[in-house]
Amino acid sequence: MAQNNILFMSATEIADKIRNKEVTSYEVVSAYLQQIDAQNGIFNAIVLVDKENALHQAILADKAIKSGTNWGKLHGVPITIKDNYLTKGLTTTSGYEPLRNHMPTKDAELVKLLKSEGAIIIGKTNLSVLAMDMQTDNAIFGKTNNAWDSNRTSGGSSGGCAVALATGMTSLSFGNDLAGSIRLPSAYCGVYGFKPTFGVVSINGIQTDPKEPVNGLKSLAVAGPLARTIEDLQLAMDIIANTTNTDKKLIPINRCTYTIDIKHMKIAWTDEFGGVPVDNEIKKAIQDYVAKLEKSGATVVKITPPIDFHLAWKTWGSFVGMQGGYNTSNFVKWMGLPFTKGVLKDVPMHQNIVKPTSVEKYMEALNTQDSLITQMENFLDSFDAFICPVSSVKAFPHHEPTKKLGNFSIYNNPIAINKEFMHYYMSTQAYTTPFTLTENPILSMPISLSKDSLPIGVQVIGKRYSDFRLLKIGMVLDDYSEKFKYPLE
């Protein structure tokens, strides 16, 4: 089989072909390793390659198939993992200098589940420092370049995952999402990404700052897959949406086995909300896409969920500040306020991250979240899904921070949107963070290419715990998106 056919084949198809002895795991793993050797120097998507072990595992996988043994759904299939998932025997840095040589002695829960189904981890993918930026860059490994234009960002923080897929260096990849870290890179790189409902996939084993005794992110953050097809997202979710012997607290969700007809679908959509401008070409692409859905028999309604987006942004920041910064004293936060107040005046989602906190404020944030979840769920009672932008902008040229505040990048130079300028974090996070707060499952999917051959994507948002139904809906909706080949395909 020609190497290029393997590289851009779906993980589902690769698994079938290995199982049916049409191709060997060794051939597939070798093809991806060769592609990494040839392309990673340009794109810098993969920061660690486990070549020797991957080839050894491939040989064992092929022997198992010959003997009639099937390891599972991803038997012998090569995949990549974001470099903030603990992987036994492989360095896990989170792009953070103090973790440069960190060698875990155990696997994250997600990694355990993937290995239990026969997946072969061929490498770790690049990310921003501690997954805290919407671009992928760090002092250890440098920046990851977009597959469509190496002068542009891949998005973050799971940018390495998205670029590895778009350049044929992996069949399937796994990231995590708090502010859009799966959704944004997927949109910027033209791949598919899935943010599950909070609490249905384990986040145990995501490496945070070692100065924090425990991972403080006990809400909002999720683990999820990126792929080149929705079918692969479904396969991945079928594996990772399960408990292990060391994490039984997850919420079980039903698999969706029935078919969905476009003519029976009712879709809510918007091309802008919260007063945050969106690139005109993105808006036009969404309008054209929704028109196709309507022409094909779907009922489409242009409407915005009746939630207070400014409140949602600020409440999202409250959780991040209280949980992600739980070991930073209120005194230190209070001392830093004069330095951040002016910088963050136009970024409501970050204002509460840096403020002193209290138990009372945490209770207020929980109550606000409960209310916003209820409002969003009531809204979705009337629709099969809600479609909206992923970001105000397409992939933009690499954007350098003005300065660093600890591990956090400060950006004083805005991003151009049409003829306006908007703060970097508003242009990248405004459309993702509200639905992190409301815990909804979200499919990030490409719908077209821009005039300058950059991917344009949308978020498809479903009711909480309807993850597999949303993926089925996405498969139907995907039939009406513009199909394209990746630059190296």
Strand ranges for 222-359 from DSSP E: 222-227, 266-269, 299-302
Q: And the tokens for 430? A: 């405004």
Of these residues, 181, 391, 392, 409, which one is catalytic? 181
Instruction: With beta carbons less than 8 A apart as the criterion, state whether 459 and 435 touch.
Output: yes
- The answer to whether residue 181 is catalytic is yes
- What tokens appear for 25 in the block? 């795991």
**Encoding tokens for residue 108?**
């994250």
Q: Which of 17, 82, 112, 115 is catalytic?
A: 82
Say how far apart CA 461 and CA 459 lie, in whole Å: 6
Catalytic residue flag (residue 25): no
Q: Which of 291, 281, 274, 164 is nearest to 225 (CA)?
A: 164
Q: Given the residues 154, 157, 409, 427, select the one marked as catalytic.
A: 157
Whether residue 484 contacts residue 453, with contact meaning beta carbons closer than 8 Å, is answered with no
Residue 318: count of CB within 10 angstroms of its CB: 24
CB neighbour class for 450 (10 Å; exposed up to 12, middle 13-18, buried from 19): middle
Alpha-carbon distance 359 to 259, whole Å?
46
Task: Note whether 1 and 23 are within 8 A (CB).
Answer: yes
Task: State how far the Cα of 109 lies from the Cα of 88, in Å rounded to an integer.
Answer: 11
Report the Cα 451 to chain-centroid distance in Å.
Answer: 25
Q: What are the Cα distances from residue 99, in Å, to 156, 250, 331, 415?
A: 19, 29, 27, 31
Residue matched to tokens 């079918």: 231
Strand pairing partners for 247? 244
Distance CA 202, CA 221 (A): 10
Exposed/middle/buried for 215, CB within 10 Å: 0-12, 13-18, 19+?
A: middle
Show which residues are catalytic: 82, 157, 181
